[in-house]
């Protein structure tokens, strides 16, 4: 049996953590795929893929893999050390569209209304006004994609999008895997780990650490040149909605 498992490349893996998808969620994802299955590369090029990203100084280091025997588990060269202390983080919002890298803005929580980590609809709307108003034109057939978290679908947000005449993509719940910007966020965090390892060791206080995170993220965002975005877009457009395996392989190559 062991030989047969090896021949079929069946191994023991940790189960991947994902939100529980109920039957209605699966149906909504299927309906989304069917709705856009006829989109061409030109159609996908005018979709504005947006999302938030949280960057924590403790989370900028990817997993490290080691080859060892069970007895070597606690050997020094088989241990990945990590810094301790404050988990200072900064929230960002941005978008990509075809070969376009849109503006990136920070989302400063409204501590007075919703606590330290609260991002309100008013904050999201300010980001939309800052980043979208001068780029999206209603007569160019552009489509705006946002996730359907409650803060994005409030009357305040939807009324503004409707007032501007923006076409908003219907988005299924619990579907970050369908959004290509997630791979861009991964590339940014990989870049930060490679070029700014000092963030993990910072002890200058929360405000100074947040400023350093913002500078590093902006640097990584601006490092997404048109060449990368063009290849990235072409891979996603040719793969079709929901099929990102080739883009993941491409991303690994470009991240080396």
Supply the CATH number for residue 162's domain. 3.30.420.10
Least-confidence region, from 42-51, 210-219, 233-242: 233-242
- pLDDT surpassing 50 at residue 17: yes
- pLDDT surpassing 90 at residue 40: no
Identify the pLDDT of residue 232.
66
pLDDT tens-place string over residues 75-93: 777 776 665 556 788 999 9
d(CA 165, CA 225): 30
User: Does some domain include residue 27?
Assistant: no
User: Does some domain include residue 2?
Assistant: no
pLDDT tens-place string over residues 41-83: 888 888 999 999 999 876 655 566 766 777 767 777 777 666 5
User: Does some domain include residue 3?
Assistant: no
Q: Which domain holds residue 217?
A: 40-254
Domain count, the chain: 1
User: Does some domain include residue 17?
Assistant: no
User: Does some domain include residue 181?
Assistant: yes
Q: Residue with structure tokens 């088989």?
A: 78
Encoded tokens for 14: 């940790």
User: Does some domain include residue 7?
Assistant: no
pLDDT tens-place string over residues 114-162: 544 578 999 999 999 999 877 877 656 789 999 988 899 999 999 999 9
User: Does some domain include residue 160?
Assistant: yes
Strand order in the sheet with 167-168: 100-107, 89-97, 47-56, 143-145, 167-168
The pLDDT-based confidence of 206 (bands split at 50, 70, 90) is confident
Q: Which helix (H) or strand (E) holds 145?
A: strand 143-145
């Amino acid at each position: 049996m062991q030989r047969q498992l090896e021949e079929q490349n069946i191994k023991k893996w940790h189960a991947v953590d994902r939100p529980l998808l109920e039957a209605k969620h699966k149906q909504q994802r299927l309906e989304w795929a069917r709705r856009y299955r006829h989109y061409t590369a030109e159609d996908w090029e005018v979709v504005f893929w947006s999302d938030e990203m949280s960057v924590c100084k403790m989370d900028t280091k990817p997993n490290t893999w080691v080859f060892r025997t069970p007895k070597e588990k606690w050997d020094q060269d088989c241990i990945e050390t990590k810094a301790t202390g404050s988990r200072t983080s900064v929230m960002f919002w941005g978008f990509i569209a075809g070969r376009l890298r849109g503006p990136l803005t920070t989302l400063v929580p409204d501590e007075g209304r919703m606590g330290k980590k609260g991002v309100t609809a008013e904050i999201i709307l300010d980001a939309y006004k800052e980043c979208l108003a001068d780029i999206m034109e209603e007569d160019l057939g552009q489509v705006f994609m946002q996730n359907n978290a409650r803060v994005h679908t409030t009357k305040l947000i939807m009324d503004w999008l409707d007032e501007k005449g923006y076409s908003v993509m219907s988005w299924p719940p619990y579907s970050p895997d369908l959004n290509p910007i997630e791979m861009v966020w991964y590339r940014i965090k990989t870049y930060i780990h490679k070029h700014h390892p000092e963030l993990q060791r910072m002890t200058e206080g929360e405000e100074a650490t947040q400023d350093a995170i913002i500078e590093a993220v902006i640097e990584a965002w601006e490092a997404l040149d048109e060449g990368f975005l063009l290849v990235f877009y072409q891979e996603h457009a040719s793969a079709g909605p929901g099929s990102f395996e080739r883009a993941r392989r491409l991303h690994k190559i470009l991240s080396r």
